[in-house]
Chain A
Amino acid sequence: MDFLGWLHDNSLVTWVRESESLLGYTLYLAGHTIGMVFLVGPNLLIAARVLGLAPGLPIKPLAAFRPVMTIGLWITIVTGSVLFATAPVGYVHNTVFLIKIAAIVAAVACLRSVLRELFVTSADPDARPVSARAKRLTAATVLLWAIAVVAGRLTAYSGFVVFASMTAFLTLVVIVTTAAYLTSLVSHRGEERRAALPLDAHPTPVKGGK
């Protein structure tokens, strides 16, 4: 029997798949999500600092989240392997699942590279601005996590639903990004106009008026 067939019919895997116990399938399903939030959650915090959304936040102490993310990653790998084993043939033939795995591998590679630059090769990461390379890699990591989450959810669906959901989600992303960009553009213009006004053009509050 081939490996995937053996994996599927393995007595332990069969128990996980069919058991109603709290230690069965649902434990791995819930554990997979919990691992994900411990991995991607702190990663977003680091990304917020690197990409300028949290200026002033010291970088060096963020290294304390590295073991948290490592534990999160291992929880997702172990629980994900068990979930994979419950339906291996279906998963290896599911393109969306393969995209998810590729996105995760790429995201972890980018994340490792960023963490190495911030916490290993640099003695004091707060001494100088974050490099453009680290910023690019961080942006790539966030995008790859988004792809992994979207593909992960859509692994449960097939055919037209996957296509329709992806189109709807991308449309939503484009609308939100455009709206955010336009808002920042308008507020930036407003600031520029206020800054360009001569000093005496600013209205002075009148005291003692009616």
Chain B
Amino acid sequence: MAISTTQLNAAEPQPPARKGTALVATVILVAVFLFFMGFLNVVKSGHLLSESNLLFASLIFYAAAAALYIGFGISGLERHVRVASLMVILGWVFNTLAVGHRWYAAGHPPFASVYEMLLCFVWTLALLTQLAERKYGIRLIGSVTMPIAVTGVVLMQLLPSDVHPLVPALQSTWLHVHVTLAMLAYSACALSFALAMMFLIKDGLNTDTFLAVTSGFVSVIYGALLVTRFEKWGGLNVVAWDYARREEIFLERGVRLFVTIPDLGWLFMLTFAAVAAPLVLYVIGQARHQSNLILGANRAFFVGILMQVIALVAFITRSQSGGYPSAMAEGVYPTSMAASPFILSGIIAGIFAFLLYLMLHWRRGDLERLLPDTNVLDRVTYKTVGIAFPLLTLMIATGAYWANRTWGSYWSWDPKETWALITWLVYAGYLHMRITRGWRGRRAAYFAIIGFAVVMFTFFGVTYLLPGLHAYA
């Protein structure tokens, strides 16, 4: 008779849980070391409270929090979650100082570039993490939201952070209201996603299903990457970078210069195969009822992580060195990580997703013990969507009002607007199914997860895959 991996895991003796002090001490030591390095740099450059230093401080605290939350997920020790909470608060304080500094330096609220939007998104995420922990007692939420925050801050370090004054179209109070609402709404959606995932974990959804979903999600990332950037001789197309001006190279207005890094396309193709393999093996294994294939899927997972790390290292090293030819212009041009922030964050997100699955795979029992009751999780997911939905509505309405004042048209079926509406429709569907049809539990959780997938497409997919008016965000 076929046995699932969950049963196999339960049969193996569990390794002893780690000591609480050891992890906390390690994390604090690493943080102190990083702070010391930062301090030396500050002494050299002379600016103590510059924005990048404040952001660096909050990055260290968020990373420490992420490590401790994941540690808590594995060990369940009180000390971990308490120090993690403290780290989040400290990180949030520095984040607030960074936001204030930015606002003051720019003379306008920080909403004019992707860098500034990420700054606000990470701030909101940290705030909501603390709220969920304190008000609803869901202490594990930091293990999902803090890695996202860390990815966000890392992404910010790569993006051009010059303070730009606002072009006339962006100088409206309504725009700032709209963006604030968007950040709040999307953070609430992210939270509902994390809660829905936790519900599924507590509800006993098969670990193998999580394997398939994680593999599928990261395959979509690499698939999208390859579809848009694979060059037919095996290279990868990336935007060229002007190191002197610290910006992308444009051929003419709105047309970026793309260069081709040779052979990187093949590596990413290989990585795509490695991350998709678990899903493929899982599907075949399910169809043919062969559990050894599903076991194989779990082993293939490690290959997937390895390939992703190789892809990350290769991407970083190759993008930071040398010049590459372009099909669009004569000559050789350099590129940089900073020219491809979304590719980089996609790779990092993929690695994070795989690591979170491993945490589930190895410590599912501990996780389930630490999570509150399924009813509580289900209810709080609904509450979070109940917060997100009015915010989404107001976001769309204020966006329409701003567009009307600036361009004379409140709705022009622009891809970004349309996808915001689709997001709204999906969450409206969730609420209807729940309120009027009594959908609870797993079906509601799936709906919440689909809703967040649509949110991610609205934020990333529309900018990255579909061109349009909303090119700056």
* A and B held together in a complex: no
